[in-house]
């Protein structure tokens, strides 16, 4: 009896399920599927399909617009103006003066002054030095004692030249007549250094002495010298090692 009841319930359930699937019960149980759902829409003609914003942006970026496609607006591309770097200002090197204002050389005695003028004229005849008087109050002298006569002094002078000593003069008057001066210096240290240098050249008779009184000597001033003139002056200066180069005194 129970089995028949269960069988009858199963058959009834299948019949109801089949009727529902076939849509016979839509008026009672709407299934929510097409076309029934479409018939239940409100104002279906006002509905528009819109793509998500991200999809639109992606499509605009990834899909190139082909020029000439009908109906497709083409936005002109604005050219990018290249940025020209502004050049850094060039460093201006300071102008190096090529001309010396005034150069002075020496405390020359009379014979040395004449020889200096002759050598400078031979090497650089375009230079016209101006001679000025210099009051030399140096007290330290390097000298070879008096030789007794002009002939003996000349013989000693020739010996000095053979040893490579050319910067000297023969004293021809006073207590030291026929002595040979090898230099007068303002300090004893400078005189001693010169004597040591002469000894190294084989000059054995030179001595240190004191020079009494002031002596008027000559110096030479050269103005507006260019590089060539400076080079010529340097060559002549090498023949007068006791003389010094200096800037001209003011005035």
CATH number, residue 184: 3.30.70
Is residue 251 helix, strand or coil?
coil
- pLDDT value of residue 92: 38
Task: Report the alpha-carbon distance of residue 36 to residue 46 in Å, rounded.
Answer: 19
181 occurs within a structural domain = yes
Query: Residue 177 sits in which domain range?
Result: 138-213
218 and 250 fall within a common domain: yes
| One domain for residues 108 and 147 | no
Residue 70 in domain? no
Q: How confident is the model at residue 93 (pLDDT cuts 50, 70, 90)?
A: very low
- Tell me, yes or no, whether 151 and 238 share the same domain: no
Confidence at 97, pLDDT banded by 50, 70, 90:
very low
Q: Identify whether residues 143 and 208 lie together within a single domain.
A: yes
Q: Answer whether residue 27 is part of any domain.
A: no
CA distance linking residue 73 with residue 23, whole number of Å: 50
177 plus 202 within the same structural domain:
yes
Query: What is the count of structural domains for the chain?
Result: 2
Greatest mean pLDDT among 11-20, 64-73, 95-104, 190-199: 190-199
Question: Which of residues 46 and 190 earns the better pLDDT score?
Answer: 190
């Amino acid at each position: 009896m129970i089995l028949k009841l269960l069988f009858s319930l199963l058959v009834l359930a299948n019949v109801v399920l089949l009727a529902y699937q076939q849509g016979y019960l839509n008026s009672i149980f709407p299934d929510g599927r097409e076309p029934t759902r479409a018939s239940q829409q409100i104002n279906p003609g006002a509905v528009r399909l819109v793509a998500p914003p991200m999809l639109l942006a992606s499509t605009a970026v990834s899909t190139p617009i082909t020029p000439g496609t009908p109906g497709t607006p083409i936005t002109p591309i604005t050219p990018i103006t290249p940025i020209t770097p502004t050049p850094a200002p060039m460093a201006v090197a300071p102008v190096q003066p090529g001309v010396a204002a005034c150069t002075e050389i020496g405390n020359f005695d009379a014979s040395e002054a004449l020889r200096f003028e002759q050598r400078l004229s031979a090497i650089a005849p375009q230079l016209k030095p101006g001679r000025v008087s210099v009051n030399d109050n140096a007290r330290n002298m390097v000298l070879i004692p008096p030789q007794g006569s002009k002939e003996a002094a000349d013989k000693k002078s020739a010996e000095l030249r053979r040893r490579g000593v050319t910067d000297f003069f023969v004293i021809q008057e006073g207590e030291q007549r026929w002595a040979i001066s090898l230099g007068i210096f303002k300090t004893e240290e400078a005189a001693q250094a010169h004597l040591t240098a002469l000894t190294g050249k084989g000059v054995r008779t030179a001595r240190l002495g004191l020079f009494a009184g002031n002596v008027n000597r000559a110096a030479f001033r050269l103005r507006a010298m260019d590089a060539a003139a400076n080079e010529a002056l340097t060559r002549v200066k090498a023949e007068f090692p006791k003389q010094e180069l200096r800037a001209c005194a003011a005035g």
